[in-house]
Structure 1
């Protein structure tokens, strides 16, 4: 059994760790609230652009456009696929990073020419250790997502897609389902699918739809709106991941604090037993000494 001094040292160490886990919990809680607010503030803009693109497509259903070009003439073995993986800049967030990495690895195994673009330091280190080909010029932090950062990321993907360097672009991120549940998922950025912009009302052909005039042309309107839509979509993914990361960290720190409390309870019992044993030993020695002195007389 450990000595009382050793147990006291362990108790102090655990108490110090608890202070850190409690502090990290509070910090993540504050950041999560801000992220949720940012997400709710930007969603109307994002859905507004999505709806506007849907209106254009409803009036021009047969229109061919570069952002909707699936390049079906390119066989699967020649297709170049880009994956944007949104990880964290630090760990201690439960399975948050692992779930995203798992999807990325499964997808890349199926592709002939995958290209990996990683956001977050944890992801870059993980794939570097795996000796996987990561675009090291694509270095962005995931802390405090901004629309500017989302625009830079999406513009680079758009440029590579239009130049033919990429035939498909996906983003792998974590979505907050609710306060206690996060889900890693993959969404396609490019090419866009027309079906994603159809609402149930638009599918019903018998309903009279409004008449609109497109100036200078439907193609030019989409050239302007689609990049903004992709900026907004990317930004939404970054904010969702940021909120999910801090929610995961809150849950992990809460679990760590609970475990620490249980350990302290067990160590406190051990410490009391050691003290009682020491006191009993001292009493026994005193009584033994007294008896020895009495027997001498």
Structure 2
């Protein structure tokens, strides 16, 4: 059995760690609330954008646009697929990063020609260690998702798509379904699909519309803004999932620390009792020895 001093040092060490895990839990909770509030403030605007795009597609059934071009005439082995992988900038969040990276590897293995774009330091370090070529990095975005950063990513990828350097673009992130359930998900950004906008059918009244100067020009303006909003939602969703995962991990760590302290307290009391008993025994033995000498 360890002595009293060693057990006391272990208890103090665990108490210090428990303070850190509890503080990280509170910080993640605060960040999660802030992120949700930011997303809710922008949802109405981007919902209206989606409704407007649906409105254009509905009134122009024969409408064709570069953003909806699936490039079916291009051979599969000549197509290049772009993947944006959204991870965190640090760990201590359970399996959050691992699940996203595993899904990214599975998706990228399906195609011959791929381009990788990474959001988050964990993803960058992971693929760098495996000598996977990273075609683009978006630094400081995972911990601070903003509309400006979302627009920067959207403009970069849209430019590559329009120049036909990328034929399809996907984003891989973690979607927070409930506070207790999160799943990695893949969304195709470009080319866009008409079916995606059918869910917006009931959001706008049915009436005739005139698009000036043309549906194509209107779509040229709407789609980049829509992609910016979609990416912003993805970044916020991933950030919220990371904070939620970290809250769960830190809460579990704090609970484990409390259990360890309870066990160590029991060992401490036993060691202290054994030490006191030993001291009493030594005192009694010494007293008896002195008594014998006197007799």
Q: TM-score, normalised by structure 2?
A: 0.95
1:191 Cα offset (Å): 0.4
Give the match for residue 50 of structure 1.
50
1:76 Cα offset (Å): 1.9
Find the aligned partners of 2:182 and 2:284 in 1 and give their Cα distance: 64
Find the aligned partners of 2:200 and 2:165 in 1 and give their Cα distance: 35
* Cα contact 2:160–2:166 (8 A) shared by 1: yes
Give the match for residue 13 of structure 2.
13
Give the match for residue 97 of structure 1.
97
Find the aligned partners of 1:136 and 1:4 in 2 and give their Cα distance: 55
- Secondary structure of 2:109's counterpart equals helix
Q: Alpha carbons of 1:31 and 1:201: their partners in 2 closer, same or farther (altered >3 Å)?
A: closer
How many residue pairs align between the two structures? 292
Give the match for residue 214 of structure 1.
211
- Secondary structure of 1:110's counterpart equals coil
| Aligned pairs (5 A) from 1:16-55 | 16-55=16-55
Give the match for residue 187 of structure 1.
187
- Secondary structure of 1:39's counterpart equals helix
1:176 Cα offset (Å): 1.5
1:36 Cα offset (Å): 0.7
* Cα contact 1:93–1:249 (8 A) shared by 2: yes
1:89 Cα offset (Å): 1.0
1:141 Cα offset (Å): 2.6
Deviation per CA, 1:10-65, whole angstroms, max 9, x where unpaired?
Answer: 11111111111111111111111110111111111111100100000001112111
1:136 Cα offset (Å): 4.7
Find the aligned partners of 1:201 and 1:36 in 2 and give their Cα distance: 26
| Aligned pairs (5 A) from 1:71-150 | 71-136=71-136, 138-150=138-150
Q: TM-score, normalised by structure 1?
A: 0.95
* Cα contact 2:120–2:138 (8 A) shared by 1: no
> What is the RMSD computed on CA atoms of the aligned residues?
1.5
Q: Alpha carbons of 1:58 and 1:35: their partners in 2 closer, same or farther (altered >3 Å)?
A: same
* Cα contact 1:82–1:116 (8 A) shared by 2: yes
Find the aligned partners of 1:50 and 1:15 in 2 and give their Cα distance: 51
Find the aligned partners of 2:201 and 2:167 in 1 and give their Cα distance: 31
Give the match for residue 252 of structure 2.
255
* Cα contact 1:121–1:141 (8 A) shared by 2: no
Give the match for residue 245 of structure 1.
242
1:103 Cα offset (Å): 0.8
> Any stretches of 5+ residues in structure 2 without a counterpart?
none
